[in-house]
Amino acid sequence: MQQSWTMPSLVESVSSLMPNLSIIGNISKSTSILILNGENDSQTPVEQAFLLQQRLTEVNHPDHMLITYPDLGHIFYPSSKWSTGMGPIEPYVLADLYSWLESHSALTRTPTISMLSPGSTLSSSTNPTSK
């Protein structure tokens, strides 16, 4: 018999989740972390991504990266700060994701540098120029 989700059980399930900020410091140092966030994301504010990155830096996580995208919303589509635009993910976001996955795969261990879109912000613990 398949269990069906009711709204109350879904709300209970979501409300019992631990906040990402309280558990991200416990992630194994052997796990690489990529955080992507649209700067106009009204569902997951970009400030939360900066707090996650700050926590990873505090615990000396060796391999984490944050890329933020101006003028993009929750689904990485052009959006204002007040409303989420609906449409396909911008190709440069997919290119950044692909580049990161490729550089962290078992097939390729040579780091690659992605082509960030104009105005995108890259912050990485493995980037020698960042502090």
pLDDT in tens, 20-66: 888 999 999 999 999 999 999 999 999 999 999 999 999 999 999 99
Q: Which residue has the tokens 């959006």?
A: 79
- CA–CA gap between residue 37 and residue 99 (Å, rounded): 16
The CA distances from residue 42 to 22, 126, 127, in Å, are 21, 29, 28
Domain-embedded: residue 82 = yes
The domain in which residue 64 lies consists of 31-124
9 assigned to some structural domain: no
The number of folded domains in the chain is 1
Q: Would 58 be classed as within a structural domain?
A: yes
Query: Partners of 64 in the beta sheet?
Result: 33
Task: Evaluate whether residue 112 is within a structural domain.
Answer: yes
* Residue 127 confidence class, pLDDT cut points 50, 70, 90: very low
| Within-domain flag for 25 | no
Q: Which two tokens stand for residue 95?
A: 């290119």
Model confidence pTM above 0.75: no
Give the pLDDT confidence score for residue 128 in this predicted structure: 37
Q: Note the pLDDT tens digit of each residue in 86-116.
A: 999 999 999 999 999 999 987 654 554 555 6
Residue 84 inside a domain? The answer is: yes
**pLDDT reading at 16 higher than 70:** yes
